[in-house]
Structure 1
Amino acid sequence: MSTRPRPQAREQDSLHGSPHRVSDVMTRAVVAVGRTALFKDIVERMDQWKVSALPVLEGDGRVIGVVSEADLLPKEEFRDSDPDRLTRTRRLADLAKAGASRAEELMSTPAVTVHADATLAEAARIMAVRHVKRLPVVNAEGVLDGVVSRGDLLKVFLRPDNDLADEIRRDVVDVLFPAPVEPVHIIVSEGVATLTGRVADATRIPLAVRLVRGVEGVVGVDCRLTGADGRGI
């Protein structure tokens, strides 16, 4: 069994600017196991670290698989049962795991991983499509750099409202509306951004809404911008 201690994840106040990357939110202190780790050791390590899955490493730290709670449960499910022929046919892989005792026999492989420079949206999409809660973060050689979880991806919604307002001003409003008819006011409360004011080019308002909605940490957008003639979108 092996662990790979890493420096602690960056503090939340380092989350500035969009788009954020996996490296901004991932956990760098990672617990992992080797391919020969025993079933009970895996369960104990999951319980100790309160995680639902562990990367399985080989050699210099290359990720060769992931063992999760789902991989371990067949041992309990089939402990006292004698599966019928249909069950044996349909759940051959689970039955094999029910009789397994080492990580290399239990793990799902190849591991579903992500790179540190992937955006949070990309990581979220991988989790949704592959139905996993945690992703090992690997470098170009497949060596473990950290782990990102669903909870890590939600950290952007902890960004302070004033940080969001500053980013919206700098990256959206000042770019699209450098000379407004009336000043554009930006108020962000509980992640909801409200924009008011009059702008010279009303055709840019829908684009502004899309860009503000794309600022990571923004929960919703209430756009009250109007054109020079007083009309909104």
Structure 2
Amino acid sequence: MKHLRTVDDVMTHAVISVDRQAPFRDIVEIMRQRHISALPVLSEDGRVAGVVSEADLLLKAQGADESRAVTAGRLMTAPAVTVPRDATIASAARLMARGHLKRLPVVDDGRLVGVVSRGDLLKIYLRPDEDIAAELRELIMAYLIPAGSSLVHVYVSKGTVYLDGSIPDPTLQAMLVRVARTVPGVVDVTARLDAEVPA
């Protein structure tokens, strides 16, 4: 069972990129053929120098002298906003939301290793319910065994977690709900946990 935690778990590894010398028309053709709206621009050593997007191309097409050679190096937005491959899915989502970005180049030591899109980040919500439940059971066992005996049933349906049973301490319910919400793919949590009454 794969626990989806980092950008590396969901990113697209086969990346289409261009170098600084790529001409305007070639960039447009690549975007059209591959159905993508932006391309990382790489320097000679494979590092991400910038990103050229459809918006960059449209701005150039609207007002510039097209008789001059226009290249990716002149069109790109730089420096590029990138994310390391070991970044959490949540941190990548925040970065995209903050910058109003549709995708981010993924780097390892500055070199391009993938691209993560909004759609890639949403993949976690397609995890099988069984995978979510199994991961959550592991986490619950880790939290509850030190706290004493308990009997917690975990059921997941369409990403919604249902926790039923008994726990040794009523204050654990809020903690278990918080733990459940950290599991990638969880949409909501409903807990009906009774505190055990000492004999």
- Could you tell me the TM-score, scaled by structure 2's length? 0.91
> Counterpart amino acid of 2:33?
Q
Once the two structures are TM-superposed, the CA of residue 228 in structure 1 deviates from its matched residue by 2.1
- Equivalent in 207, 211, 221 of residue 175 of structure 2: 207
- Equivalent in 57, 60, 72 of residue 75 of structure 1: 60
SS in 2 for 1:66: strand
Separation of aligned partners in 2, 1:25 and 1:68: 22
Q: Deviations over 1:97-146 (max 9, x none)?
A: 9x872111110000110110111111111111111111111111x11111
Structure 1 match to 2:48: 63
Structure 1 match to 2:134: 166
Structure 1 match to 2:17: 32
1:184–1:198 contact (8 Å) kept in structure 2: yes
Structural mapping, 1:130-149, within 5 Å: 130-140=99-109, 142-149=110-117
Separation of aligned partners in 2, 1:219 and 1:100: 50
Q: Deviations over 1:4-42 (max 9, x none)?
A: xxxxxxxxxx6x236x11111111111111111111111
Structure 2 match to 1:52: 37
2:170–2:194 contact (8 Å) kept in structure 1: yes
2:181–2:188 contact (8 Å) kept in structure 1: yes
Structure 1 match to 2:154: 186
CA RMSD of aligned residues (A): 1.9
Separation of aligned partners in 1, 2:138 and 2:47: 41
Separation of aligned partners in 1, 2:88 and 2:170: 31
Residue 113, structure 1, aligned to residue 98, structure 2: no
Separation of aligned partners in 1, 2:193 and 2:69: 62
Separation of aligned partners in 2, 1:120 and 1:96: 42
> Counterpart amino acid of 2:155?
I
Separation of aligned partners in 1, 2:183 and 2:65: 46
Q: Structure 1: which 5+ residue stretches go unaligned?
A: 1-13, 79-94
Count of equivalent residues: 194
Q: Structure 2: which 5+ residue stretches go unaligned?
A: none
- Could you tell me the TM-score, scaled by structure 1's length? 0.78
